[in-house]
Amino acid sequence: MNLNVTIVENEQAFDCLAAWRIIGEILHNPRAVIGLSTGQTTKNIHAIISDIYKQYPFDVSHVTLFGVDEVTYVPREYEGACYTMLKRQLIDTLGIKEENFIMPPTLSDDFENECRLFQAVLEDRGGIDLQVLGLGTNGHLGFNQPDTPFESETWLSAMDEILEARIRKETKTPPEKQLGGLTLGIKNIMHARKIVLVAKGSSKAGIVKKMLEGPVTTNVPASILQLHPNCEFILDKASAELLQSST
């Protein structure tokens, strides 16, 4: 299988390349619908996009940005909410209009309906042109944890235990109150016209190898990306160190 894998020399090159993939999509398609991810891997990518935009403004007036997932049952103002992270890191710095920043709420009495609404809005805008994805250490995509069916659509998932424990502590959420994550399903992600997955650091090396060189299995949700017709995997040397093709 011929996969599109790009291995870069260092973290700065990694961040710049990924940032230009997003900028390039906007320049190519001024009405692009672009899905973003939050976390340590994408924080610097967003900062580079913001810096380039500040120096050389480009047209974002018709671009739609959204987050692939959102933490639920926490205040939207919580610093770990995807809405808040994306708004601070990119939405405000680019001056994206409120109606062009699509995110599900963190609080709702009917999350099943919120899932339907979130998916419907993206479909009404023509579907996803570019989806940027991070890679969980267990292979999760968005909040789609191992053993999530590949045919899943937007749904309310459980979080991995480590992330839930951290969020519960930071938000002082009592044990009896359930935390979760509203996420695009794997089927939704696979319907994106273009995907860029970013992974860096030696802690990701094992799961990168499983994702790219192992079987396509729900045990490693990201392995399904082997079957996407237009997916680029951007890796640094550390995350790619176990790949046969990198030696």
124-154 confidence digits (pLDDT tens): 999 999 999 999 999 999 999 999 999 999 9
Give me the number of domains the chain comprises.
1
Residue 119 exposed, middle or buried by CB count within 10 Å (0-12, 13-18, 19+)? middle
165 inside domain: yes
| Residue 108 neighbours by CB under 8 Å, 6+ apart | 72, 114
The H or E element containing residue 20 is helix 11-28
82-133 confidence digits (pLDDT tens): 999 999 999 999 999 999 999 999 999 999 999 999 999 999 999 999 999 9
224 inside domain: yes
247 inside domain: no
- Cα 10 to the center of its chain, rounded Å: 21
243 inside domain: no
15 inside domain: yes
> Nearest CA to 21 among 195, 218, 211, 208?
195
244 inside domain: no
Q: What is the DSSP string of 129-147?
A: SEEEE---TT--BTTB-TT
43 inside domain: yes
CATH number of the domain within which 40 lies: 3.40.50.1360
The H or E element containing residue 24 is helix 11-28
95 inside domain: yes
| Cα 35 to Cα 131: distance, rounded to the nearest angstrom | 4
- Which domain range does residue 109 map to? 4-238
196-231 confidence digits (pLDDT tens): 999 999 999 999 999 999 999 999 999 999 999 999
